[in-house]
Amino acid sequence: MDVEGQNSNHQNQDATPLMSKGLRRVLIVLSCVLMALGNTGGPLLLRLYYRSGGKRQWLSSWLLTGGWPLIFLPLLITYLHRRRRCQLRPGNRHPTKLFFITLRLFLACAFLGLLTGLDDFLYAYGLSFLPVSTSSLLISTQLAFTAFFAFLIVKQKFTPYSINSVALLTVGAAILGLHASSDRPDNVTKSEYYMGFILTLGAAVLFALILPLVELMYAKSKQAITYTLVMEMQLVMGFFATAFCTVGMLANQDFQAIPREARHSDGGESRYYVILVWNAVVWQSFSLGTVGIIFCVNTLLAAVLISVFIPVTEVLAVVFFKENFSSEKGVALALSLWGLASYSYGEYRQEKAKKDKAAPSDQVA
């Protein structure tokens, strides 16, 4: 499963020279599924923690990256695959590399991990004061910020279709905002509600900055970017983000409060711990899906998909939390699907143009 990314600079002995189109499509589909699972299920599970009596913001932010050890499983599988392939290679005397990440990449991932930890805290703290619909609305603004940062940092080019997609998704988010004023929970004061707005908007801006920085890290890595290396980098980022939140938990004495909170949780202790575990698993799938999309395609598509899934989260909130499904949510859902279709058609046109341009040169050769 070692495949080279688009920004590779040189090959290494364990990496496959090029990513096949079929494998690239599989990785894109898998990453989209992981993003869909995390982007729709994550906010609902985190809100469920608060609705069940949870009050620890540092703990809830820790859950957003606390599932990072799960990455060891696919890394172990790819290592065993590489070792078996090297053993079958005649005359090979080089030991199988245990990992590909360099010190330079490690330090870059550590820095991005700390930024991610701060972003996790802003988002989780904001969600403790906001309903899922309002929080999702504010997070959707990351698309505009991502487009801006991607243009500045990685020189991401825009097409009429991608611009149309951004515009449609932004309008959909604005329509969702029409019902936000009446969404303040009963147990939240007005000042806490506005603080939740500010914290969640700050999380959207910071996340929009992190996405193109990840793509820039791929481009400046000075080594072949394989999907195995991408998972290693995500492992480091997850570790440092979790470490950042762990320090906050220690300072806030969250570890001592967890057993007490579990005993008083609605639904009992077992349900409380199940919610915590599934939060970590689902949010980790979101992280893997996001970096997979950036690796296989680009930052803008990752931002578009995040915004596309927001109305889906709204629908699921109606199903599981019995929220009212307003006409604004229906229109926003339609605009989001239209935006995704616009972006997908633009990508299809670009790929077709590249093939048509390459066809005459192939015939001459």
Residue 317 in contact with residue 323, Cβ under 8 Å?
yes
Compute the distance between CA of residue 100 and CA of residue 12 in angstroms, rounded to an integer.
9
DSSP 3-state helix, strand, coil percentages of the chain (rounded to 5)? Answer: 75, 0, 20
pLDDT of 275:
94
Nearest CA among 237, 220, 234, 227 for reference residue 154? 220
More confidently predicted of 295 and 109: 109
3-state secondary structure of 4: strand
Q: Rounded mean pLDDT of 276-289?
A: 93
| Residue 76, pLDDT above cutoff 80 | yes
Compute the distance between CA of residue 11 and CA of residue 8 in angstroms, rounded to an integer.
8
Residue 137 in contact with residue 306, Cβ under 8 Å?
no
More confidently predicted of 106 and 93: 106
Give tens-digit pLDDT for 310-322: 778 877 887 887 7
Residue 303 in contact with residue 141, Cβ under 8 Å?
no
More confidently predicted of 151 and 258: 258
pLDDT of 91:
62
Helix axes 299-321, 142-153, angle to 10 degrees: 170
- Cβ density class 333-350: b for 16+ within 10 Å, e for less: bebbebbbebbeebbeee
| Residue 15, pLDDT above cutoff 50 | no
pLDDT of 196:
87
Give tens-digit pLDDT for 95-107: 778 888 999 999 9
Residue 65 in contact with residue 287, Cβ under 8 Å?
yes
pLDDT of 181:
56
Helix axes 190-219, 269-296, angle to 10 degrees: 40
Compute the distance between CA of residue 127 and CA of residue 123 in angstroms, rounded to an integer.
6
| Residue 10, pLDDT above cutoff 60 | no
User: Phi then psi for 226, rounded to 5 degrees?
Assistant: -105, 165
pLDDT of 179:
61
Question: Cα-Cα-Cα-Cα dihedral of 262, 46, 203, 104, to 10°?
Answer: 80
pLDDT of 118:
97
More confidently predicted of 150 and 248: 248
Residue 130 in contact with residue 75, Cβ under 8 Å?
no
| Residue 9, pLDDT above cutoff 80 | no
pLDDT of 360:
61
pLDDT of 180:
57
Please tell me which of 146-150, 230-234, 326-330 the model is most confident about, judged by mean pLDDT: 230-234
pLDDT of 2:
37
State the CB neighbour count (10 A cutoff) for residue 109.
23
Q: Which residues have CB under 8 Å from 344's CB, separation 6+?
A: none
pTM: 0.80
Confidence class for position 292, pLDDT limits 50, 70, 90? confident
Compute the distance between CA of residue 29 and CA of residue 295 in angstroms, rounded to an integer.
13
Give tens-digit pLDDT for 200-255: 989 999 998 998 898 888 888 888 888 888 899 999 999 999 999 999 999 999 99
| Residue 8, pLDDT above cutoff 60 | no
Please tell me which of 39-43, 139-143, 316-320, 336-340 the model is most confident about, judged by mean pLDDT: 39-43
Compute the distance between CA of residue 106 and CA of residue 176 in angstroms, rounded to an integer.
40
Tell me the average pLDDT of the chain.
Answer: 81
Please tell me which of 52-56, 223-227, 290-294 the model is most confident about, judged by mean pLDDT: 52-56
